[in-house]
Structure 1
Amino acid sequence: MSGRAGSAHADADPESDSNPVLIARGAYLAKAADCAGCHTAAPVPTQPGAVPKLTVPFAGGLGMSSPFGTIYSSNITPDPVNGIGRYSYDDFAQALRKGVAPGGKRLYPAMPFPSFAKIDDDDLHALYAYFMHGVKPVAAPAPPTHLPFPFSQRWALTFWDWAFVPDRRYELAPTHDAQWNRGAYLVQSLGHCGACHTPRGPAYEERGYDGDAHLYLTGGTNDHWFAPNLTGDPGSGLGRMSAQDIAAFLRHGHGAGLVTFGSMVQVIEDSTQYLSDDDLAAVTAYLKSLPAREPAGHYDGQSRAASQTAQALKAGDVERPGAGIFESYCARCHQQDGNGVAQKYPRLAGNPAVLAAQTTSLVRLLVEGGASPNTEDGPPPRKMPAFAGKLTDAEMAAVLTFIRSTWGNAAPPVTTREVGAIRSAIHK
């Protein structure tokens, strides 16, 4: 590593954009930044029952939900008409770091340019080389974004950028070692973890871009998924996970008996599974250094009540509200003791997502179901069925409340109103 946290490779000439070594480095950095995750539309069936029509990486068209309407990602292939093929390096840098496309067009903050502002020059050159010389041009326009007035007035984003975008590169923290700085750089810049895991304010701004901000990485809601707390909170955060568990989770989507879900599945499939062992170790070292903030929930797996509940379920005692629903629909995979099955089904006992103050993800998973990641070296993906047509709002609230108050879990109940509001928001 050189004097900058982002300069893990110093063997390429940043002025030679067709240098194969530089292009390969840019390809790695594009995975670290999960560019494909937003700039590749999801496959869709051409008709009911048909094989999904595949989409092309980086050609854009993915619709991202925001409080102001749907924002479509752009084509970032080097096509000169529909993509970024005519971008100079300076154009590219302005778009990534400041959210300004050629011609002064302001980008919506669904693009994480407040985080990308911290990317160092060497890495930005490598990314530019990759997108100009390592990506196939796609001559297809992405759908335009049409937001209602006044959000359609992009010129107003000038003031948003002025107020909320920190226009500075990542600076090494002299009180920490090289590994910590590398991890901080990856999390805060390329990884833009705060774009999902940091709560947003009334202007859709992230409530902080590094550990100096109290709310940084304490959890955030995006597109009706709650990205959990990444600080050291032992309830809903990473406090009870080891660095090795976190690294395994980022590599395969499984760690400490937990399994990833929702939009994080794609992040692992497209991005974090490809990080080097050194970079994963750096990321986990940084995350484990974050103090506990915004605590939620509590877990005591050694409590007498935890063992009594498991024994009662085994004995067929399902008198508690929600217990019978759990026994009928959930226990087969998640087990009567709530410990799940390693490398297959997640544990619910002590699961940080179960203990989170925000229940959006729990409800959405129960309504829609989901699937674990499909990674190169991880266990086979498993599916969770959807219960939208099997359980009423009241039944969902009852079983989630049971889960959040069983096996040593201690988190507030889920109300029927909460379930109904989330189902209405996702039209399920």
Structure 2
Amino acid sequence: MPLNRTAAALLLVLAGGPALAADTAPATNPLVERGRQLSIAADCVACHTAPNGGAPFAGGYAIDSPMGPIFSTNITPSKTHGIGNYTLEQFSRALRQGVRPDGAHLYPAMPYTAYTQISDADTEALYSYFMHGVQPADQPTPATQLPFPFSVRASMAAWNALFLQDQRFTPDAAKTTEVNRGAYLAEALAHCSTCHTPRNALMAERLGDRHLAGGAVGPWYAPNITSDPQHGIGGWTEAELVQYLRTGHIDHKAQAAGPMAEAIEHSLQHLPASDLKAIAAYLKQTPPIGAEQAGAPTRFDRGQASRSEFDLRGQATVDAGWRIFSGSCAACHQANGTGTGNGAYPALFHNSVTGADRADNLIATILHGVSRTVDGKPQFMPAFGDAAAFTDRLSDQEIAELSNYVLAQYGGSALRVDAEQVRVARAGGEKPLLAKAQPFMLPALMVLALLVLVALVALVLRRRAR
């Protein structure tokens, strides 16, 4: 739906990872095989495998959290650098409470706040898989070094006391077996809420009033997936949801990119159809939550084909965004924005990216492109803001101009994008207040300590005077 962490109160997971097949050969031991299947549903391989050929589950993948890069750990059964010496109890405590055998706390970029719901039986199956179904990799991973005070892992004990609901999943007797299965998959294993729920000032999920109502994930925005028909997925059929979860594409509705594309590539496409149907059934019955701002547009039915690309050809004065669209986008998405007939390049209207009430995902898609492989077939759009790929082919101003042209012509939206928004997205997205406050925390603590010292000295002097 996107590890390992640290802080005084913390972090947002980027549910993503390297391009590595999530599936491996079935195991012969039934418990190990069950654990393998659960690891796919939990998308463990994506975050615990380094890019460019890293050994599966050997860690080293850098998660760009708002507080700084967090490196995933080696979870192979290596006894020198992995979890080979963990007991089942120690594995369970790390998985569900975020505490390592040495007592050090993990950061909630490893979504233990969701994994805490995993049952005892499934925890044992996962443990059996990682101990007996994964090849040990005796290689170290880079140490996570966040700035003070986030480097103080012990502070996570206070954060957990405030925000960790250390409880196993309990089926709702009023719901069907299928809906309960979908809830367990979505909330515990697939940890959908870690991306699709906004966070409070201390970076904990707002599970009550805004659960699954959408949240920022770096430069991307994980949209509302409640049953609200206008702002969520209430207007989707269950069949459409199942198709999207398996392929990342629904004609004239949505295409997966960024962290969601990675979740589909490594995890969701490998789940049984019955599991995907259960997740869809669960999402369709969640309480509807509308946009925080009234009047936000419906995402999926806005805009129409446009003739502007044809009409502006040859004119002396044309929109700057049109020039970029004509040169970089029209060949694939077609001059009128209808996309290709086979869906490889989607239409730009009736599109959740161009019809949204915010431009995050449009900007991020232009900057970072699209890359997902489903059924062995890659779906690809180049990253026009990637310096490595295109020597910074499009500047912040150019991406803003292109975004405004696409929004005006195909999104039916009054949204406007400026170069500063693109600059922030290119730098990793808007920083939360906690991250913005970090440079001032140490000086503030020093001033506080000095004031306490002055107060103590004054108290001692008063007592001596008496």
User: Which TM-score band applies after superposition, normalised by the shorter structure?
Assistant: 0.7 to 0.9
Match of 1:404, SS? helix
The corresponding residue for 1:293 is: 290
Provide runs of 4+ in structure 1 moved above 6 Å: none
1:169-199 CA distance string (max 9 Å, x none): 1111122111111111111000001111211
Q: What is the distance in 1 between the residues matched to 2:228 and 2:140?
A: 44
**Which runs of structure 2 are paired with 1:93-242 in the superposition (5 Å)?**
93-208=92-207, 213-234=208-229, 237-242=232-237
| Cα shift at 1:122 | 1.5
| Cα shift at 1:142 | 1.2
Q: What is the distance in 2 between the residues matched to 1:239 and 1:408?
A: 20
Q: What is the distance in 2 between the residues matched to 1:124 and 1:366?
A: 40
The corresponding residue for 2:56 is: 57
Identical-pair percentage: 38
1:92-118 CA distance string (max 9 Å, x none): 111111101112111111110010111
**Which runs of structure 2 are paired with 1:329-340 in the superposition (5 Å)?**
329-340=328-339
1:388-420 CA distance string (max 9 Å, x none): 634333332222123223346325211222112
The corresponding residue for 1:84 is: 83
8 Å contact from structure 2 (residues 300, 351) kept in 1: no
Q: What is the distance in 2 between the residues matched to 1:368 and 1:300?
A: 22
Q: What is the distance in 1 between the residues matched to 2:67 and 2:99?
A: 20
Q: What is the distance in 2 between the residues matched to 1:297 and 1:411?
A: 10
Amino acid at match of 2:348: L
> Structure 1 residue 71 and structure 2 residue 70: aligned?
yes
8 Å contact from structure 2 (residues 302, 351) kept in 1: no
Match of 2:258, SS? coil
Deviation larger for 18-27 or 233-242: 233-242
Deviation larger for 250-259 or 19-28: 250-259
Match of 1:146, SS? coil
Which residue of the other structure, out of 16, 22, 26, is the alignment partner of 2:31? 22
Q: What is the distance in 1 between the residues matched to 2:127 and 2:139?
A: 20
Deviation larger for 151-160 or 28-37: 151-160
1:342-383 CA distance string (max 9 Å, x none): 430122212223333443332232123332x11226x44333
When normalised by structure 2's length, the TM-score is: 0.77
1:309-339 CA distance string (max 9 Å, x none): x234444478566344323322222234433
The corresponding residue for 1:12 is: none
1:78–1:202: structure 2 CA closer, same or farther, 3 Å change rule?
Answer: same
Q: What is the distance in 1 between the residues matched to 2:332 and 2:284?
A: 30
Amino acid at match of 1:56: A
The corresponding residue for 1:10 is: none
8 Å contact from structure 2 (residues 396, 422) kept in 1: yes
Q: What is the distance in 1 between the residues matched to 2:152 and 2:302?
A: 56
1:203-251 CA distance string (max 9 Å, x none): 121111xxxx231122222233222221234555324432222212221
Structure 1: unaligned runs, 5 residues or longer: 1-17, 44-53
| Cα shift at 1:268 | 1.4
1:383–1:313: structure 2 CA closer, same or farther, 3 Å change rule?
Answer: closer
1:297-317 CA distance string (max 9 Å, x none): 3358587xx35xx23444447
> Structure 1 residue 34 and structure 2 residue 43: aligned?
yes
8 Å contact from structure 2 (residues 77, 135) kept in 1: yes
Q: What is the distance in 1 between the residues matched to 2:68 and 2:337?
A: 39
8 Å contact from structure 1 (residues 218, 228) kept in 2: yes
Match of 2:60, SS? coil
1:148–1:357: structure 2 CA closer, same or farther, 3 Å change rule?
Answer: same
Q: What is the distance in 2 between the residues matched to 1:225 and 1:397?
A: 16
The corresponding residue for 1:262 is: 258
Task: Report how many aligned residue pairs link the two structures.
Answer: 389
1:231–1:222: structure 2 CA closer, same or farther, 3 Å change rule?
Answer: same
8 Å contact from structure 1 (residues 236, 351) kept in 2: no
When normalised by structure 1's length, the TM-score is: 0.84
| Cα shift at 1:272 | 0.6
Amino acid at match of 2:261: V
Point out the structure with max Rg over C-alpha. 2
Q: What is the distance in 2 between the residues matched to 1:142 and 1:177?
A: 44
Structure 2: unaligned runs, 5 residues or longer: 1-26, 387-391, 430-466
1:156–1:176: structure 2 CA closer, same or farther, 3 Å change rule?
Answer: same
Greater RCO (Cα-Cα under 8 Å, separation 6 or more): 2
8 Å contact from structure 1 (residues 118, 168) kept in 2: yes
1:132–1:302: structure 2 CA closer, same or farther, 3 Å change rule?
Answer: closer
8 Å contact from structure 1 (residues 367, 387) kept in 2: yes
Q: What is the distance in 1 between the residues matched to 2:89 and 2:360?
A: 41
8 Å contact from structure 2 (residues 326, 335) kept in 1: yes
8 Å contact from structure 1 (residues 297, 411) kept in 2: no
> Structure 1 residue 247 and structure 2 residue 235: aligned?
no
Aligned-pair Cα RMSD in Å: 2.4
Deviation larger for 413-422 or 399-408: 399-408
Match of 2:70, SS? strand
8 Å contact from structure 2 (residues 354, 410) kept in 1: no
